[in-house]
Homo-oligomer: A and B are copies of this chain.
Amino acid sequence: MPRRYDRDSAEFARVLAFSDGLFAIAMTLLIVSVTVPAISDHDSISEMADGLNDRLPDFTSFFISFAVIGRYWLAHHRFISLLRAIDQPLINLNLIYLAFIAFLPFPTALLGEYFENPLSIVIYAVSVGVVSGWEVVLFRRAYRDGLFAKPISPEVYRFGVTASLLPVLFFAISIPIAFVSTTVAAASWFLVIPAGVWIERRAPEGTQELLG
């Protein structure tokens, strides 16, 4: 029997505090590297405008990265809210998940600076695909170890896994597309949204109450 920590224990709280700290740092990191532009005439509006214009990819990277990691934080927050306890294997898997999260600022910065380069798209797609795929690993572990607060039927479980794998599929498909057109590849990621709505409609009864 692996060690198990109840929802109201200091140990359960620590896993969340540690995860939240890491998420917060990963989301704030990208702005550190954005330096104030160096301009020769301090009062010149046009020089400043040029300098800021050069920083535009950095700003874009920061806000995209914040949105992407923020979305994963929301999913993590929601997932944990379904649990009544956490056990050692799930803590270990959560640590690996956080390593991928901490890595995300790099591919996002790459994409922000070299959007036209197919390799940027590939590395970004692989990185977020791995994070999304790992969410399924966490979900599976919690299910198998009986950590959910409410019992989850096999149908609801299978639906949860399928719905979580959907983004991974779209990220995988975008990889070969990137070598034809990076714009089409990036655009294909947004198809996750209507696909999510479509699959949500096919959810088995009771999913809403169990998984929200």
Query: Which residues of chain A have a CB within 8 Å of any CB of chain B?
Result: 3, 5, 7-18, 20-29, 31-36, 39, 42-45, 48-49, 52, 59, 62-63, 66-67, 70, 73-74, 77-78, 80-81, 91-92, 95, 98-99, 102-103, 105-106, 109-110, 113-114, 116-120, 123, 212
Contact = CB atoms under 8 A, between A and B. Distances in A.
B78 A117 contact: no
Contacts of A91: 74, 77
A77 to B, nearest CB: 6
A123 B28 contact: no
9 contacts: A11-B80, A15-B77, A17-B21, A24-B25, A27-B102, A31-B106, A52-B119, A59-B103, A74-B91
B106 A34 contact: yes
B18 A48 contact: no
Given A18-B20, A81-B3, A117 B32 contact: no
B73 A18 contact: yes
Contacts of A114: 36, 39, 42, 48
Contacts of A120: 48
Contacts of A35: 33
Nearest to A18: B20
Contacts of A24: 18, 21-22, 25
A110 B77 contact: no
Q: Lowest 4 CB-CB distances: which A-B pairs, in order?
A: A21-B24, A18-B20, A48-B119, A22-B24
Given A25-B24, A33-B32, A14 B118 contact: no
A104 B26 CA distance: 16
A22 B14 contact: no
B17 A48 contact: no
B119 A45 contact: yes
A117 B48 contact: yes
Contacts of A67: 99
A116 B42 CA distance: 7
Contacts of A52: 119, 123
